[in-house]
Each structure stands twice: as structure tokens, then as C-alpha cells.
Amino acid sequence: MANKSKNLKRQAKTIKRLLKSVRQEYPRLIIVFISIIFYTVLSLVAPVYSANIVDMLWNHIQDAINEGVKFSITWQTGGREILILLIIYIATAGLYTLQKFLMTSFSEKLSLSLREKISHKINKLPLSYFDNHKKGEILSRATNDLDKMSEALQTGLLTLFTSIGTVVGSIIMMIYFNIGLTIVFLVFMIISMVLTKTFTKKTLNYAIERQNQIANLTSQVEEAYTGRIIIKSFNQENNSIESMRQVTEQVAEATRKADFMTNAINPAIRLVNRLGQVVIAVFAGKLLIEQKLTVGVFQAFFQYLNQASEPLTEASYMLNSLQSALASAERIYNMLDEKEITKDPKNPEVVENANGEVEFRNVSFGYTRNKTLMKNISFKAKKGQKIAIVGTTGAGKTTLINLLMRFYDVNSGEILLDGYDTKKLTRENLRNNFGMVLQDTWLFEGTIAENIAYGKPNATREEIIEAAKMARVDFFIRTMPDGYDTVLTSDAENISVGQRQLLTIARVILCNPSILILDEATSSVDTRTEIEIGKAMENVMKNRTSFVIAHRLSTIVDADLILVMQNGNIIEQGTHKELLDKNGAYADLYNSQFA
């Protein structure tokens, strides 16, 4: 009972948020509701009017038979009434078409609104969210869940609205014609509602399970695609296929259950309704024979019977579809409710073209509050200095850089840029002063020139070429079929890993940042290329503060300050000579590379 109450509250909250999301579409919904009112009225008037026409025609036919003359329909003997009935039916169809058009537009606008919110949300989520969620799961919420919700709302919501008015109005008219037959119908309707309630409860659970399994499948596909080279190199194709097969079977099983519950309700309710119609037909036929019902009323009653039973059947089906839509919407809103990065200050300090003085002052940090990785980290980088960060894998080198760029916020302490606490700057202003080259290259599908100019879209072709020359990549680019206009394919697989790295370096050079961050920037290139990049970077790093994460210690012997990290903390700092003289952790690390 507690779970039932909790589910109802959860669904009510989701519906309320959906309505709030489409507040600007209220005029469209008002038109739909007005249209539904007229549609319902005309749907209820048509059978009554047709009953009068049928009775009138029946009487004319009887008179013609008794007089022995040929029966014909004229304007005076039913033609006018039939035309009016035709106009009613045409108006009904027109109103329904209008509703359909408006609801389709409504659901698509809702979907667009939520897609935009998800897009904005992704840019505001902390990196810890992406650390704890699979890529495929996030993609699934922005694609599969939204499509499922939009599809259900386009048809389900409209059917539900029209069904309520039609069913209630039809039952009232049925009571007006014959209360006894209506009671029989209501008995079978109650049976239908009980079945609907049973199916709906199970459908929601199965719908949630299906969407979760689809998210798992999306993650599996994404992993198999990005890791396809590793899979092939280790001969793990069969294991990958088997893993994919298992996930696919889980999706198929969850889908089978959800679709069965969604689709089984329709024939089940229809069967109950048909049984009810058979029983009603027997009793109505008896009343017709006893002349307690006219032919017109008989056919009108069955029109109302169909108008009440068919929408009831469709509403039962659509209620299950809407359960799936609510499950998808709930997953979307759960993502939108995730904790965001801290907001930028309302009145921020501004640092343009920073001098490059950076200071860590008693900084402590942990990815979770319970586990502190860094404790009281302090060091200072002066303008134009080269700061090298070394240590074994997992020592915390990249974490230190992430804190410097405010990808994560420190638990305590301060990080200063030119004497300003970086928390008092906007993230955009802070990062405009940095240029970052990562070990993992990222290039998008576009021309080489567009990729180089990613951080400075308004750069001229001359500026792009100059940056490429400084990165020692101009010659390679000119050997490509279309030079700087060569289009890179997905993941830039038409060029080598080293060439991709050179392009990312050119991208940073073009931005001309005050401070450089090189995270193993030359790890993917050969020794000759590394030397060329080193020469280029020497020119770029002149009069600029630079942070270099390096595994090959020979590349940082000229650093002004070397930070030796272990288990998240700086255990030694100094110049190359000072650290060798200490004969500590750095000396051991250095000597091990040249042993």
C-alpha cells in the first residue's frame, strides 16, 4: 500500500512537471480542449439525430408499403435531415483532425524543450556525474526516453481526453434511452476497469525495466564501437558478440513483457465489451419485438454503446502507453534534477591576459567527501616558469590539473591566479587564460582548419596556417588531398594518432593562452616528432607559465619547479638538480629510467 501511494505521488509529480514544461503551449492546449468539447457534443448529438431520421424513414417505408407505392427519399422526406447528419459527421472529423495536428505539434515542442534542457544540463553537470554514469545511459535518456515519451503523448493524451468526454456523455444518453440496458453495460464496464487497473500497474514496472535495459544496450554498443581496435587486437570478438547478445536478450525480454502488457489490454477489454454487447443485443432485441424500443432508438443505443466501449478500450490501451511515457519522463527529470556545478559568482573578479602567477594554498580535495585524496597542497608558480608534475600512474597528476581548471572544486584551501581566488572568477574567464593539450586527443568531424580553429572560430586562414607551422604540422596538412579543407572522418581515423596530437597542439597555439597545460602531450608521437614539438613548444612557452605532466623525465630537466606526487600529495618539490641532490623519490624515479 505504501509503495502504491509512493508511485502515485511520483507519477503526479512527473505530470505536474510535464505541464510546467509546456506552459508556453497552454493556448494550444486550450484550443484542443475547446475542440474536444465541440467534438464530444457533436458525437453525442449525431446518434440522437440519426435515431429521428431512422424512425422517420422507417415510418415512410411502412406507409409506402401499406399504400403500395414506391418509396423514395426526397428533400422533404429525409434528404434535408441526412445532409445535416452528413455535415455533423464531417465537422466531427474536422475537429478530430485539428486536435491531432495540435497535439502532435504539442508533443514535439515538449520533446524539443526537454532536449534543450538536457543539452544545457549536460554542460552544467560536474565531471563526477559522468564518472558515475555510463555514456550510453546518458545518451539513452536524451534519445530513447524522449522518443518514447513523445510518441505516447502524441496519441495517448488526445485519446484519453476525447475518451473521457465521449464515454461520460454516451452513458448519460444511454440512461436517457433505457436505464436497464445501461446497467448491463455498466457491469461490463466495471469489469473492464478492474482489468485496466491490473494491467496498468504491471505495465509501469515493465516500462521502467525496458528503458533501463535499453540504456545498458546503448552503453554496450558505445563501448564496443570505441574499443573495437582493442577488441580485435586481443581476439575478443566472440566474447564481445556474446556480451552483446546477452544484453540484447535482456532488452528483448524486457520489451516482450512491456509490449505484452501494453498490447494485451486492448483485446482483453475488447472481449469483455463484445460479451457485454451480445448480452445487451439480446435484451434490446426482446424490447424491440415487444415494441418498447423503436428501430431508431435501437440503432442509436448501439451507436452510444460503441462510442462508450471503443474509447474505453482505447483509453485502457493508451493508459498503459502513458505509463511508459511517464516512466521515460521520470528518468529524464531525474537527470535534470542532478546536482549541478556551483554557480559562478554574481559579481566576479576578471582576469584578462593573466600574467601567469599560480598558487595552491593549503588545498585539500577528494572525489568523495569521505575519502580525501589531496591534503594541504601548497606551491607557487611564478610568471613564465615551467612547472613539471611527475609521479607514478595514479599519483594525482591529472587531478591537480583538473583542480587548476576548476573541473572539480576544492574541498578546502585556495587556488590563486594572479592573486585572485579562482572561485571568484567565472569558469569561462578562468579557462580563457589556459590552453590545454591532453594525452587523449579529441577531433570532431569537420575540416582540418575547423578543428584547429575550434577554440578561436573567427581565426583567419593565415593565423591557422601559422599555428600549424609552429606545431610542425603544416607540411603534413599540405600533403592531404584538400589541404586545410580536408574533412576528418569520425574519430579522425584517416590520420595517425601522432598527427591528431599535433593538430590539438596547433589548436592551443592558435588561442595564444597565457598559461599552458601539457598532459603527456607528446606521448603518442615518435622521438623525432617529439623533438620538433619540443622546439615549437619552447617558443610558445616563452614568457608563459606552463604546467607539464611528464613520464619521460628527460623532457623536464630544465623545469623551474618539479612537483613529485604520490598518492595525491606532493612529497617533493624543487629543480631537477635540487631533487637529485636530495636522493629521494624523484632521484629513484629518474635513475630507474636511465638504469
Task: Give the DSSP letter string of 105-166.
Answer: HHHHHHHHHHHHHHHHHHHHS-HHHHHHS-HHHHHHHHTHHHHHHHHHIIIIIHHHHHHHHH
Residues 389 and 570 sit within 8 Å (Cβ to Cβ): no
Q: Using the predicted structure, report yes or no on whether residue 289 has a pLDDT greater than 90.
A: no
Listed in order, strand segments (DSSP E) in 248-405 are: 358-365, 374-381, 386-390
375 phi and psi angles, rounded to 5 deg: -130, 115
Residues 358 and 416 sit within 8 Å (Cβ to Cβ): yes
| Per-residue confidence (pLDDT) for residue 319, from 0 to 100 | 67
| Per-residue confidence (pLDDT) for residue 561, from 0 to 100 | 92
Residues 182 and 57 sit within 8 Å (Cβ to Cβ): no
Residues 579 and 553 sit within 8 Å (Cβ to Cβ): no
Provide mean pLDDT across the span 179-188: 85
Residues 524 and 439 sit within 8 Å (Cβ to Cβ): yes
For the chain, how long is the longest CA-to-CA vector? 130
Whole-angstrom CA distances from 114 to 49, 117, 118, 214, 254 are: 46, 5, 6, 19, 26
Q: All 3 cell numbers of residue 361?
A: 594554498
pLDDT in tens, 546-558: 898 887 787 788 8
Min mean pLDDT across 15-29, 86-100, 116-130, 332-346 is at 15-29
24 phi and psi angles, rounded to 5 deg: -70, -10
| Rounded percentage of the chain residues whose pLDDT exceeds 70 | 90
| Per-residue confidence (pLDDT) for residue 492, from 0 to 100 | 64
| Per-residue confidence (pLDDT) for residue 395, from 0 to 100 | 81
Q: Using the predicted structure, report yes or no on whether residue 1 has a pLDDT greater than 60.
A: no
Listed in order, strand segments (DSSP E) in 382-459 are: 386-390, 412-417, 420-421, 434-437, 446-447
Q: Using the predicted structure, report yes or no on whether residue 196 has a pLDDT greater than 70.
A: yes
Q: Using the predicted structure, report yes or no on whether residue 417 has a pLDDT greater than 90.
A: yes
Half-sphere exposure of 279 (CA within 13 A, CB side): 15
Burial of residue 526 (number of CB atoms within 10 Å: 0-12, 13-18, 19+): exposed
Q: Using the predicted structure, report yes or no on whether residue 78 has a pLDDT greater than 80.
A: no
Can you tell me the distance from the alpha carbon of 273 to that of 279, in angstroms, rounded to the nearest whole number?
Answer: 10
360 phi and psi angles, rounded to 5 deg: -100, 125
Cα dihedral sign for 54, 55, 56, 57?
A: positive
pLDDT in tens, 35-62: 888 888 888 888 877 777 777 777 777 7
471 phi and psi angles, rounded to 5 deg: -90, 5
pLDDT in tens, 321-343: 677 777 778 888 888 888 888 88
Residues 438 and 548 sit within 8 Å (Cβ to Cβ): no
Provide mean pLDDT across the span 493-517: 83
Percent helix, strand and coil across the chain, each rounded to 5? Answer: 70, 10, 20
Burial of residue 496 (number of CB atoms within 10 Å: 0-12, 13-18, 19+): middle
Q: What is the DSSP string of 516-562?
A: EEEESTTTTS-HHHHHHHHHHHHHHHTTSEEEEE-SSGGGSTT-SEE
> Which residue(s) pair with 388 in the sheet?
548, 562
Provide mean pLDDT across the span 154-169: 75
517 phi and psi angles, rounded to 5 deg: -125, 120
| Per-residue confidence (pLDDT) for residue 539, from 0 to 100 | 65
CB atoms within 10 A of CB 444: 11
Q: Which residues, including other chains, have CB under 8 Å from residue 482's CB and lie 6 or more apart?
A: 447
Q: Using the predicted structure, report yes or no on whether residue 8 has a pLDDT greater than 70.
A: no
Say which DSSP state 570 is in.
Answer: E
Residues 106 and 28 sit within 8 Å (Cβ to Cβ): yes
Provide mean pLDDT across the span 159-171: 79
* Crossing angle between the packed helical segments 80-124 and 26-67, to the nearest 10 degrees: 160
Q: All 3 cell numbers of residue 350?
A: 576578471
> Could you tell me how far CA 372 lies from the centroid of its own chain?
33
- As a residue count, the chain comes to 595
Nearest Cα neighbor of 517 from 400, 364, 352, 377 is 400
Q: Using the predicted structure, report yes or no on whether residue 595 has a pLDDT greater than 60.
A: no
| Per-residue confidence (pLDDT) for residue 461, from 0 to 100 | 92
Q: Using the predicted structure, report yes or no on whether residue 533 has a pLDDT greater than 70.
A: no
Q: Using the predicted structure, report yes or no on whether residue 359 has a pLDDT greater than 90.
A: yes
Provide mean pLDDT across the span 22-42: 81
Can you tell me the distance from the alpha carbon of 149 to that of 168, in angstroms, rounded to the nearest whole number?
Answer: 27
**To which H or E segment does residue 333 belong?**
helix 295-336
Whole-angstrom CA distances from 416 to 143, 193, 230, 436 are: 41, 66, 41, 18
Q: Using the predicted structure, report yes or no on whether residue 211 has a pLDDT greater than 90.
A: no
| Domains defined along the chain, listed by start | 14-211+251-336 (1.20.1560.10), 442-512 (3.40.50.300)
| Per-residue confidence (pLDDT) for residue 358, from 0 to 100 | 93
CA end-to-end distance (rounded Å), the chain: 71
| Per-residue confidence (pLDDT) for residue 74, from 0 to 100 | 74
Q: Using the predicted structure, report yes or no on whether residue 314 has a pLDDT greater than 70.
A: no
Whole-angstrom CA distances from 452 to 490, 492, 520 are: 16, 13, 19
At 112, the pLDDT band (50, 70, 90 cuts) reads confident
Residues 276 and 188 sit within 8 Å (Cβ to Cβ): yes
Can you tell me the distance from the alpha carbon of 316 to that of 318, in angstroms, rounded to the nearest whole number?
Answer: 6
Q: Using the predicted structure, report yes or no on whether residue 200 has a pLDDT greater than 90.
A: no
Burial of residue 486 (number of CB atoms within 10 Å: 0-12, 13-18, 19+): middle
Average per-residue pLDDT for the chain: 81
